[in-house]
Structure 1
């Protein structure tokens, strides 16, 4: 990587597709642009003709002559990294098809998702600064893409346990919750894994269809209730539902390879998958600007309750966002998070933004009530 300048000029906007690249070239200049993971092998003539001063090319394949020319213009060129099972410079979020490519032929172990997890397991503790840098680049690019996607959206987080089995009453209730929230115009966001998280994303996917579709989908999925012992069978069942009803609604999921033994569910159309779980946890809650609904869960869900409580308590993200806990017995007797949450909220602005309800069916109306305060 070479550049005659000592500093990187201010960005002139991101380019994340060939169409955007062609548009920029037609406008006459690439000056200051950030080009992310766009294959420019067939755009040699355009690169030779355009002014690329101050541009930054992140993981963009290009002909050697074109690369030399843009460097001479003063561009920074970060080449693709060979042999990686992921793109550290990616400009867009993942799709289910991208993470599960090759599932039908080679099983889950052949997919990009599984290969990225194996790479992470191999490099996370070996002290390799280069691998750490690649993970950081990837996660920052994912955060950037997620922020771009959610501009202006009312995002509601749905948190809950990964152990909620397909075919259970709790799974169906969580799916109906996701459908209700999506139909109200909110963007459903989950931690992206199986269980209650998958159910909420499934509900949002079912939102454009008539009500019987979701019941039928839940019946089909119940034949493979868990990702154990076979992630392949679990994921294939989900893709069977997607193929039968291909025009599902959108939602967001934010999983992590830190818990790579839990696969991402295929029902969110936009998947922000991270290597760093801390970034993933905080990022999910920080982006849930319309509130968070906490379904019954265990340690992970308890952590999420108090990760959400802390900024509400201190006001570090502005006004408190609504928090609705579902399951009175669960949150007062089994895992008594509610009494502590209520004690923390006393005499603070967040006090009017927390609620405990008995059933999932009550949660949307309670969220709306808290949001109106």
Structure 2
């Protein structure tokens, strides 16, 4: 049961266990929001419980139950048929959710089918399709906020081009493991490359140090997600099957970049249709700071997306920013000189750092107050 279920001040019900507990303890559903819960076998409870002002979002129920709750003053938004995703989902995705049917090829998975639906509908100006995307993304944001309530979150940003089997990938994985072992919740963009490596490190955090090395050797058999996402993902699930119940971390990917599948090492996946919502949400929730590994346009954008609220922060509490790779951020993509110029004389000046090596990032983050 989600951690927030015991003190439901938000009056949301997102699992059948929460539904049963609420009906048993309170004897009423008045004013509650029931989200994506299959109530087909709860007809008696629905017929005998007050539902005044309740809202049922995508909850399958028998017709007599639906008629009763509507007549009792509730709103019922029925499940949407023939969609490869649930727009009303109450919980974040797991890797198993998105990669179900992987044995039949990645194209058969819910993740691939959701992307295909997005590609068909994104340009047709159909208000119904755009509404479904918006409802889905808002539901994901709500679930993400509930998951991260009270957590100290550190973002790890970096490019998708970093290959398994490289020293850079291993370094990013060790970074994720160290951050997770220090009590932080690692959050990434949820895709391949540096993002996967950081999620992998957090997943390996509860195990002995040798586990990560063994996992890296298995993953190196499928170094990139092209041309076969199926083989790339299968290698990750081989690792997960060998060492189940890994550490918690968050991946926040998007279907906007269809060529980037989500990585299977984030225990919780907040996948969005709208990339702008995803980018802003990832950075805004990284309350313990952000580590920026070498990357290209996407990572560069994230640096300045994060710098903007820090620049205008008036309470003296900007989030720490650590850029890894002096040559990359001063010569290849010279973001550091501009960032330092922006920070000069402002409170964010004491919260930014440039380091040469990835193993220096955790100490730099601590020095900056992360």
Range into which the TM-score falls when normalised by the shorter chain: over 0.9
Aligned 1:134-149 pairs, distance under 5 A? 134-149=132-147
Whether 1:33 aligns to 2:35 is: no
Equivalent in the alignment of 1:74:
73
Which SS does the other structure have where 2:282 is aligned? helix
Contact 1:320 1:350 in 2 (8 A): yes
Q: Deviations over 1:5-47 (max 9, x none)?
A: xxxxxx9600011111111221210000000000001111110
* Counterparts of 1:218 and 1:24, CA distance in 2: 45
Which SS does the other structure have where 1:178 is aligned? helix
Equivalent in the alignment of 1:292:
290
| TM-score, normalised with respect to structure 1 | 0.96
1:318–1:257 Cα change, 3 Å: farther
Contact 1:124 1:132 in 2 (8 A): yes
Which SS does the other structure have where 1:38 is aligned? coil
Equivalent in the alignment of 1:85:
84
Residue of 193, 196, 199 corresponding to 1:198 = 196
* Counterparts of 1:73 and 1:202, CA distance in 2: 49
Equivalent in the alignment of 1:150:
148
Whether 1:62 aligns to 2:61 is: yes
Q: Deviations over 1:320-361 (max 9, x none)?
A: 000000000000011100000000000000000000000000
Deviation at 1:247, TM superposition (A): 2.1
Equivalent in the alignment of 2:267:
269
Runs of 4+ with deviation above 3 angstroms: none
Which SS does the other structure have where 1:42 is aligned? coil
Aligned 1:197-276 pairs, distance under 5 A? 197-276=195-274
Aligned 1:87-166 pairs, distance under 5 A? 87-104=86-103, 106-166=104-164
Q: What RMSD over aligned residues (CA atoms) do the two structures have, in Å?
A: 1.1
Equivalent in the alignment of 2:180:
182
1:317–1:140 Cα change, 3 Å: farther
1:244–1:65 Cα change, 3 Å: same
Aligned 1:42-61 pairs, distance under 5 A? 42-61=41-60
Whether 1:362 aligns to 2:356 is: no
Equivalent in the alignment of 1:21:
19
Q: Deviations over 1:271-297 (max 9, x none)?
A: 000000000000000000000000000
* Counterparts of 1:367 and 1:278, CA distance in 2: 26
Contact 2:316 2:347 in 1 (8 A): no
* Counterparts of 2:68 and 2:270, CA distance in 1: 34
1:123–1:317 Cα change, 3 Å: farther
Which SS does the other structure have where 2:223 is aligned? coil
| TM-score, normalised with respect to structure 2 | 0.96
Contact 1:16 1:91 in 2 (8 A): yes
* Counterparts of 1:50 and 1:110, CA distance in 2: 41
- Count of equivalent residues: 361
Which SS does the other structure have where 1:368 is aligned? helix
Whether 1:340 aligns to 2:347 is: no
1:69–1:317 Cα change, 3 Å: farther
Contact 1:311 1:317 in 2 (8 A): no
Which SS does the other structure have where 2:256 is aligned? helix
* Counterparts of 1:316 and 1:238, CA distance in 2: 44
1:257–1:295 Cα change, 3 Å: same
* Counterparts of 2:315 and 2:49, CA distance in 1: 43
